Amino acid sequence: MLSLCNLAFDKSLSFLIVHLQILLSSAPSHPSGMGELWRTALCGTAFGAALTYSGVFIPEVIMAQMKFQNFHMMRVFLTATASSAIVLSLPHSTSKPNIAARGPTPLPGLGPYGGNILGGILVGFGMTLAGACPGTVFVQVGAGVPSSLLVLAGSAIGGICYQAISGPLLKNCTSESSLPQRSTIPEILACSKETAILTYITLCSTVVFGSSFLESTTFDLPSPVVSGLVIGCVQFLSVVLRGRALGVSGVFSDTGKWFWDLVEGHDKPRNAQHTDRLHNYPTPTQTFATGLILGSLGLSISAVASLSSPTPLSVSTLRAVSGGFCLAVGALMGGGCTSGHGISGMAMLGISSVISVASMFAGGMALAQIY
């Protein structure tokens, strides 16, 4: 098993080196573009290190959560989203145009929240199959988790496929004018935002405390409360440096677009418009994802991360690839992942995020009971 882990770590390191070479060779030459790129990479690196420290990237931890055996993952994310609720309610955050509750993602015949429900269920399936989340798959690559590259490959395939079908799929969706105009819990309940946030933080704190008495399996991991607060600090860093809340699912869409742009370049003579599109890569989400790998890699080889290393869970090739596929398609269909919806979206009390996260865990936990 040790040799298998070492082999996976070596492959992960090789993958990272190749990706960094592409990133650096494609980096924009304009100074402001370079500044944005490095700020994004820094935030991604900090987030990757925080997720690695917390241990929520470990497949065993995710599977134990889905089987109601251990609630470390839920407690970390509830602490992270509660602390993020404070960060994202500060005037500095609310003034940012890119920080707002996510709207619904409709699907034909399934209503305005159809994408949130179906996409959330698919993400849950992927979490149970692969033992990963849309964001933690990059952390797993950096940490050398044996199944991580297979999950990443499945996610890339999912992003490519969804990019190909999303146009026809969403063509007849509900028009924007008929979508729900109230997108947050305070708007639905007609209460003040401050009251809703205080109630939300109290509820999260109660669940974090109460769930500690329900665990049948324990892991030697850092405190979930400390881990969640660290992620909350990274949320603050992201707001200050990027003007954006944490989230990573857009990388799958960008990867799909990048693939089809390359295909178009091979099928047709290159023109100025096509060349300009290729110059848009790497995108901010691709840079952020690379930072996740870097942060995980850096912390994984330190003494801090070595304190939390349960016996690796064996994930078959079929489960890893199919799980990665479900993670990407579900995150794109639902308009977010466990970070974008689960940490940031719920922190802003978004209705679509609450529906998405509930669907994620309902789907994942249901599959875990029968699979």
| pLDDT number for residue 263 | 85
Question: Cα(218)–Cα(206) distance, rounded to whole angstroms?
Answer: 20
First CA to last CA distance, the chain: 24
Provide the token pair at 275: 């060349």
pLDDT, one tens digit per residue, over 262-291 is: 887 655 544 445 455 555 778 899 999 999
Query: Encoding tokens for residue 294?
Result: 């870097």
Of the CA atoms within 13 Å of residue 289, those in its CB half-sphere come to: 28
User: Shortest CA distance to 53 belongs to which of 223, 202, 178?
Assistant: 223
CB within 8 A of 300, min separation 6: which ones? 52, 142, 143, 144
Distance CA 256, CA 236 (A): 30
Split at pLDDT 50, 70, 90, the class of 97 is: low
- pLDDT at residue 314, as a whole number: 75
pTM value?
A: 0.84
- In percent, how much of the chain has pLDDT > 90? 60
Tokens at 231, concatenated: 């992620």
Please give the pLDDT value at position 13.
44
Over residues 142-156, the mean pLDDT reads 95
Nearest to residue 348, comparing CAs of 233, 131, 197?
A: 197
List C-alpha distances in Å: 190 to 184, 185, 193.
10, 8, 9
Average pLDDT over residues 27-39: 62
Rounded-to-integer distance, Cα 286 and Cα 289, Å: 5
pLDDT of 148: 94
pLDDT of residue 82: 97
**Mean pLDDT, rounded, of the chain:** 84
